[in-house]
């Protein structure tokens, strides 16, 4: 895998919108917060564009992303926010440009579609971490800030991924697994199935997270992955944060844990639950495409490979 150059104080970070729009105030706050850390910040035109539920037309969002990777003065890229829209620009992304200009790329949620495509087509390490809005604009808590900066600024392997105080990772299936981490938001992984951007989990550790979905919908998407062989292929499974995924429709709904027990656990792959990555606060930043060890016996995730150069 290609490794981006670690960021340092004085480097320029570009913020670009690949998906939905964000309030102008949030854009300003994110810029100020990053500048307070010593970074220079450049805002893409798409940050201030709006086209319904999208941050401007597809062509603008794709062009801004391509331009920021091509721009030699920009050292890292943080996505403005998730929402929806990344899948609409996948066929417009210049993967040759990205491969020729490897740099830090950060985002989560809808950005999952871009993580998968960039990881698999460009063989570039990317980072599942905070977006400019609402995360950075709101000011990252101390834990999230430390883990974010550790991921994008340290050259050494991240090693143990910690859990915030008062939280504990649960073991659903014991065992140990080794492989690079791939994945992201379950809805986006499901949405790209059957396309050229479908996730490859062969020999990898699959990370999944979600927000605001009914258990029966999670059941449906996990079943899709199961039928497609994604759990069979994976070496291990990380179930991250599942914010607001309790049923509001069915009084007799299966619980989230029952869904996991029915669909994921039977594959017998080392599996942990409640790693704080996803739509949560505090949150860890995970490098995708880096060798890791999942020790489900101890409820630990250890990043063995360096994510940056």
**pLDDT > 90? residue 262:** yes
pLDDT given at position 12 = 98
Average pLDDT, integer, range 105-128: 98
- Provide CB contacts within 8 A for 199, sequence distance 6+: 116, 120, 182, 183, 189, 192, 193, 206, 230
pLDDT digit string (tens) for 14-73? 999 999 999 999 999 999 999 999 999 999 999 999 999 999 999 999 999 999 999 999
Q: Is the pLDDT of residue 285 over 90?
A: yes
In the 3-class helix/strand/coil scheme, how is 93-125 assigned residue by residue?
A: CCHHHHHHCCCEEEECHHHHHHHHHHHHHHCEC
Q: What is the pLDDT, as a whole number, of residue 289? A: 97
pTM reported for the whole predicted model:
0.97
Q: How far is CA 53 from the centre of its chain?
A: 21
Mean pLDDT (whole number) for 161-168: 90
Residue 165 has pLDDT above 90, yes or no: no
Instruction: Give the residue-averaged pLDDT of 191-211.
Output: 98
C-alpha to C-alpha distance for 221 and 60, rounded to whole angstroms: 31
Residue 7 makes CB contacts below 8 A (sequence gap 6+) with 13, 39, 75, 76, 104, 152, 153
Distance, in Å, from the CA atom of 230 to the CA atom of 269, rounded to the nearest integer, reads 11
Token pair 């409820």 in the structure block, residue: 299
Is CATH 3.40.50.300 the classification given to domain 159-303? no
Phi, psi (deg, nearest 5) at residue 70: -75, -25
The residue to which tokens 């599996």 are assigned: 271
Q: How confident is the model at residue 4 (pLDDT cuts 50, 70, 90)?
A: very high
- Condensed to tens digits (0 to 9), the pLDDT of residues 61-75 reads 999 999 999 999 999
Express each pLDDT in 84-97 by its tens digit: 999 999 999 999 99
Domain ranges, ordered by start, for the chain? 12-139, 159-303
Please give the CATH topology (third level) of the domain spanning 12-139. Rossmann fold (3.40.50)
Neighbours of 227 (CB within 10 A): 10
* Nearest partner of 299 among 266, 282, 276, judged by Cα: 276
Find out whether 45 and 39 touch, Cβ atoms under 8 Å: no
pLDDT at 220 over 90: yes
Q: Could you count the other beta carbons within 10 Å of the beta carbon of residue 123?
A: 12
pLDDT confidence band for 166 (50 / 70 / 90): confident
Task: List, as one string, the DSSP characters of 140-197.
Answer: --HHHHHHHHHHHH--S--EE----TT--PEEEE--EEEEEEEEEEHHHHHHTTTSTT
215, pLDDT greater than 90: yes
* Nearest-angstrom CA–CA distance, 225 and 194: 11
Distance CA 215, CA 52 (A): 29
In a 3-state reduction of DSSP, which class is residue 306?
coil
Residue 20 to residue 30: CA distance in whole angstroms: 16
Where in the sequence numbering do the catalytic residues fall? 109, 209, 279
């Amino acid at each position: 895998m290609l490794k981006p150059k670690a960021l340092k104080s004085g480097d320029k970070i570009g913020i670009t919108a690949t998906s939905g729009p964000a309030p102008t105030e949030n854009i300003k706050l994110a810029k100020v917060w990053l500048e307070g850390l010593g970074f220079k910040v450049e805002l893409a035109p798409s940050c201030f564009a709006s086209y319904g539920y999208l941050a401007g037309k597809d062509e603008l969002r794709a062009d801004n992303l391509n331009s920021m990777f091509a721009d030699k003065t920009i050292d890292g890229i943080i996505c403005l926010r998730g929402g929806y829209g990344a899948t609409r620009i996948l066929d417009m992304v210049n993967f040759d440009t990205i491969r020729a200009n490897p740099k830090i790329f950060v985002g989560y949620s809808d950005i999952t579609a871009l993580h998968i495509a960039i990881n698999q087509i460009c063989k570039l390490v990317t980072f599942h971490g905070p977006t400019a809005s609402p995360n950075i604009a709101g000011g990252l808590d101390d834990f999230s800030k430390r883990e974010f900066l550790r991921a994008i600024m340290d050259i050494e392997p991240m090693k143990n991924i910690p859990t915030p105080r008062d939280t504990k990772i649960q073991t659903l299936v014991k065992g140990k697994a080794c492989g690079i981490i791939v994945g992201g938001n379950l809805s986006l992984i499901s949405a790209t199935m059957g396309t050229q951007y479908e996730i490859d989990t062969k020999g990898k550790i699959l990370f999944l997270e979600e927000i605001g979905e009914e258990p029966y919908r999670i059941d449906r998407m996990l079943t899709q992955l199961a039928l497609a062989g994604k759990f069979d292929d994976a070496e291990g499974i990380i179930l991250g944060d599942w914010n607001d995924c309790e049923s509001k429709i069915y009084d007799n709904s299966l619980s989230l844990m029952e869904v996991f027990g029915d669909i994921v656990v039977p594959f017998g792959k080392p599996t942990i639950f409640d790693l704080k990555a996803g739509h949560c606060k505090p949150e860890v930043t995970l490098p995708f495409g880096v060798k890791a060890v999942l020790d489900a016996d101890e409820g630990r995730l250890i990043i063995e490979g360096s994510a940056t150069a």
